Structure 1
């Protein structure tokens, strides 16, 4: 099996990585470099939703009607459903995470407010992460608006799910349950024994971009992993690199 350093060096693209195990940053490369976030931005959106729920600003059981004009393409299922479908806010969050639904994401951005999501990121210490536009918004993209994050910021966000500095334990348990129901397990968890490890992850991808971040629990050990890659000529090659990195961390946890 290749070492993480060998995998990084063999990846023909720009790659940033951060791996923290038991409070020790054991692997780090360019972890503060900014990337287009792709669907990783859905993690802080979900977390801000739970913060607003705790504050009483929103109620997760409230129903929202999905209107045809709100539907966008890309990942997800809502764009294929009949217009007028009603879903609870919590169900929209679930779809946003487990099938990376872009329509659900845009509805949540509208509901929560970009400024509030960005303030949450600052409050948690994820200072490079920001939401500037909805997903699939080509007009905003043409004007230079982008959603941004870093590997280090993603570790910061994932650690909040165990540390509960801002969110309550009930909220973070709900969030972890949602991330653990993730349907896209082909990257970091791809070569792990998913019955042996407790895995919560979120992927992101665009043309030339492949990301995955995860929390891995095994025995009494806990690993936070963030791998962000861009400038790929073929997305598949980025997926392979991320999967190999996941395997390397998996083997490390098994052998400790």
Structure 2
């Protein structure tokens, strides 16, 4: 039976199946040949550019970091190091005073001294072998204390952080924390204060551990420009392996005084702690009445040292750092330190008095209201 188309199926028109030719746009011959040349030129340029790019890429050496170098290390190496800190404003050497000081040192062949005193207002200075590296004794606690407060400013350490005393950090010599029971806890601020005020060696070892150890602190000292300062052993370090110089300590204290390294709040707290130093037998003994000092001493028998900032009644301020090498516990070493320090103090005391700017005085009682 043959199939029939549906009754409503439309008939197929054979003519409609032929493709309809679209009209082509014919360009005049004068425009056709330049257009073809333009297309060919663009294609050739693209090919040449690709070939040159490939050649340049092959000529660039490929840098492959060693397996033991992390991307973080590579990034840190690419960053330029921070600029070196500005040195102390050493503007005018006190030549005559230096000759007097050198004569006092040479008067006793069993003694030697290294010192740097600087007028922080004028830049006048007294320097006798100030850059000579020496055993730091407990003056090493000055840069450690500065590093502690820098860590506080950066948020790495909180003043009320709890530190636990361990057997490993207990050190002999000065300080009473060595007699405490291991496992005892103290706040970070209390420990740092004991390190400076009472020169507690155990507290110093605890703060050193808190800040990351000798290597971390030594890197920090170098960053501050303290090229002769190095922490090599835990306190008390009676062998004198921890090193510094009068110049390094004076440089650091001057920078802190000028508002560098520490925030104003931490600087003020540091100076209050250094102002409470219990040992007043070195620099303080050579100052006149009415003078104030913030300082830290050091003494391992064969060498004594003291470094600090002195305020005079006339408004002058200077930084002082001095070490005296001597026969073990020889009192003549202390006498020489006093003599040198007093000579510089007298020089500063003779300078013109700096008047503090007048401040309005608040009335003792509030004025009566105007009717």
- TM (normalized to structure 1)? 0.89
* 8 Å contact from structure 1 (residues 190, 246) kept in 2: no
Per-residue deviation, 1:82: 4.1
| Aligned position for 1:8 | 105
| Aligned position for 2:160 | 61
- Does 2:206 match 1:107? yes
| Aligned position for 2:253 | 158
Aligned residues: 249
- Does 2:114 match 1:20? no
Per-residue deviation, 1:26: 2.2
- Does 2:225 match 1:134? no
- Does 2:243 match 1:148? yes
For structure 1, the residue ranges without an aligned partner over 5 or more in a row are none
How far does the alpha carbon of each residue in 1:16-49 deviate from its partner, in whole angstroms, 9 at most, with x for none?
1111012424211111111011111101101111
SS in 2 for 1:190: helix
After superposition, residues 29-178 of structure 1 pair within 5 angstroms as 29-112=128-211, 113-136=213-236, 146-178=241-273
* 8 Å contact from structure 2 (residues 105, 112) kept in 1: no
Match of 2:308 among 184, 190, 214: 214
The worse-fitting range, judged by mean Cα deviation, of 178-187 and 53-62 is 53-62
Per-residue deviation, 1:70: 2.8
Quote the Cα distance in structure 1 between the aligned partners of 2:326 and 2:234. Answer: 22
* 8 Å contact from structure 1 (residues 60, 90) kept in 2: yes
The worse-fitting range, judged by mean Cα deviation, of 128-137 and 177-186 is 128-137
SS in 2 for 1:213: strand
| Aligned position for 2:354 | none
How far does the alpha carbon of each residue in 1:132-154 deviate from its partner, in whole angstroms, 9 at most, with x for none?
1211368xx6xxx9211011101
| Aligned position for 2:333 | 238
* 8 Å contact from structure 2 (residues 117, 320) kept in 1: yes
Quote the Cα distance in structure 2 between the aligned partners of 1:92 and 1:181. Answer: 15
Is the alpha carbon distance of 1:62 and 1:17 closer, same or farther for their aligned partners in structure 2, counting shifts above 3 Å?
A: same
Per-residue deviation, 1:69: 4.4
Per-residue deviation, 1:204: 0.6
- Does 2:307 match 1:204? no
Higher strand fraction (1 or 2): 1
- TM (normalized to structure 2)? 0.63
For structure 2, the residue ranges without an aligned partner over 5 or more in a row are 1-99, 352-371
RCO comparison, higher one (Cα < 8 Å, 6+): 1
How far does the alpha carbon of each residue in 1:108-133 deviate from its partner, in whole angstroms, 9 at most, with x for none?
11111222211221222111111112
SS in 1 for 2:199: coil
Is the alpha carbon distance of 1:254 and 1:88 closer, same or farther for their aligned partners in structure 2, counting shifts above 3 Å?
A: same
Is the alpha carbon distance of 1:84 and 1:235 closer, same or farther for their aligned partners in structure 2, counting shifts above 3 Å?
A: farther
Quote the Cα distance in structure 1 between the aligned partners of 2:127 and 2:172. Answer: 35
* 8 Å contact from structure 2 (residues 173, 236) kept in 1: yes
